């Protein structure tokens, strides 16, 4: 079954996480993604261990499947000439070079738009090209800090902490992907490409739900709530005799049902706990009573029982448990091919589902084939490789 994006040609110049994740989202749905790496390779190739039998790091493998890999030295004029040839017929260009680099090379959006008017040019950057922070480099943890996400994550006794997954990089990659698809849809009407500007800073700020609305409406500065919530109670992590469980009663009916299932229905009629506003005002006392009622329960079984009865809950699972969980497999969220095993694509389409077509590939393995496909003769390819413009092996520092 062909993917939804079959026939879409994407040239991916990006490295590390946000850009490659965006390109992988497109590739999983059938786009022909040509990943172009610099002479030293995408740095995540070295972010290990672990490494597989081909020497590919797990970090790199997680965000670079379904792509063909080519290596070019774009610092050389001949490398840029090759890139321009590869861009012929391309629908999308993704890059995350330091702001100004593409312009310095004569490959900025304004220049490329003249030559390829239908091209959608997507740039992933830390802070954008201008403004007080424009042009600064951006890495996930640093932007989590500067955009306020670290300040709202953690417990009062421990202080602010970084969110444990690179949520800013990943959300920026998703936003870039959404922007590309929007631009392609608009192109179907106008016939013109456009520039997609996705920054880590913007993406991080957009994640401030409900903290930004709370601030804008009431001037509230977020506090650290640990495993509980500033707008909803109960919404917290509770002890059991096994795994802890997270329980979130989003309305008064769910709270009443929770109390009944814990064997203390009268708790729902306590004036301190009757409404969400009451429960927030008396959260410490309420959580203490609930913890006393959950501590002797079997965590996973009770979480499932609550869910079956309409009370949102979940046992605190660890990564190995999740990856081997029957529902993870049922949702096709673990993909396997030729020894490769990783998380699947979360965007499911009924007629054209995403799939793994090729596992992450060795550095430069497709350089010769892709250049030949774009009109370069064997002799020309040999010369490009001999001169270091095109590569099939990582250039040692």
Look up residue 50 and give its two tokens. Answer: 């672990």
- The residues facing 340 across adjacent strands are 337
**What SS3 state is found at 177?**
helix
List, in sequence order, every beta strand (DSSP E) within the chain.
9-12, 32-37, 67-72, 92-95, 120-125, 154-155, 159-160, 195-199, 235-238, 245-248, 313-315, 334-337, 340-343, 390-391
What angle, 0 to 180 degrees and rounded to 10, lies between the N-to-C axes of helices 252-261 and 299-308? 130
Residue found under tokens 């330091």 = 98
Q: Cite the active site residues.
A: 169
Q: Which residues contact 212 (CB under 8 A, 6 or more apart)?
A: 205
d(CA 203, CA 125): 11
Under 8 Å CB-to-CB from 58, ≥6 apart: which residues?
48, 49, 50, 51, 52
Three-state SS sequence of 100-136: CHHHHCCCCHHHHHHHCCCCEEEEEECCCCCCCCCCC
Token duo for residue 235: 């919404």
- Given a contact cutoff of 8 angstroms between Cβ atoms, the answer to whether 267 and 294 are in contact is no
Taking Cα atoms as reference points, which of 337, 394, 357, 386 lies closest to residue 68?
357
């Amino acid at each position: 079954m062909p993917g939804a994006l079959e026939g879409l040609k994407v040239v991916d110049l990006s490295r590390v996480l946000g850009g490659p994740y965006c390109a992988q989202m497109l590739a999983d749905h059938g786009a022909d993604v040509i990943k172009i790496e610099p002479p030293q390779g995408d740095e995540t190739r070295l972010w290990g261990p672990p490494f597989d039998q081909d020497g590919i790091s797990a970090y790199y493998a997680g965000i670079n499947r379904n792509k063909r890999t080519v290596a070019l030295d774009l610092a050389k004029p001949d490398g840029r000439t090759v890139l321009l040839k590869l861009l012929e017929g391309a629908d999308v260009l993704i890059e995350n070079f330091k702001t100004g680099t593409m312009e310095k090379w004569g490959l900025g959006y304004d220049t490329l738009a003249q030559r390829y008017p239908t091209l959608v040019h997507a740039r992933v950057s830390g802070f954008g090209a201008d403004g007080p922070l424009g042009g600064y480099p951006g890495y996930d943890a640093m932007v989590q800090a500067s955009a306020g996400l670290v300040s709202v994550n953690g417990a009062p006794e421990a202080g602010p902490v970084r969110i444990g997954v690179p949520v800013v990089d990943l959300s920026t990659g998703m936003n870039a992907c959404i922007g590309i698809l929007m631009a392609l849809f608009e192109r179907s009407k106008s016939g013109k490409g456009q520039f997609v500007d996705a920054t880590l800073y913007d993406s991080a700020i957009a994640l401030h739900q409900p903290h930004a609305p709370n601030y804008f409406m009431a001037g509230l500065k977020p506090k650290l709530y640990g495993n509980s919530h500033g707008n909803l109670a109960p919404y917290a992590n509770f002890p059991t005799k096994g795994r802890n469980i997270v329980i979130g009663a989003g309305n008064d009916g769910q709270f009443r049902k929770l109390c009944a299932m814990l064997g203390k229905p009268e708790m729902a009629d306590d004036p301190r706990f009757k409404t969400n506003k009451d429960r927030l005002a008396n959260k410490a006392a309420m959580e203490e009573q609930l913890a006393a009622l959950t501590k002797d329960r079997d965590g996973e079984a009770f979480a499932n029982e609550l869910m079956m009865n309409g009370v949102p809950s979940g046992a605190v699972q660890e990564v190995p448990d999740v990856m081997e969980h029957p529902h993870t497999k049922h949702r096709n969220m673990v993909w396997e091919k030729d020894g490769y095993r990783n998380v699947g694509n979360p965007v499911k389409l009924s007629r054209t589902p995403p799939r793994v077509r090729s596992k992450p590939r060795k550095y430069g393995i497709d350089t010769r084939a892709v250049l030949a496909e774009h009109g370069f003769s064997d002799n020309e390819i040999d010369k490009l490789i001999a001169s270091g413009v095109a590569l099939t092996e990582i250039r040692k520092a």
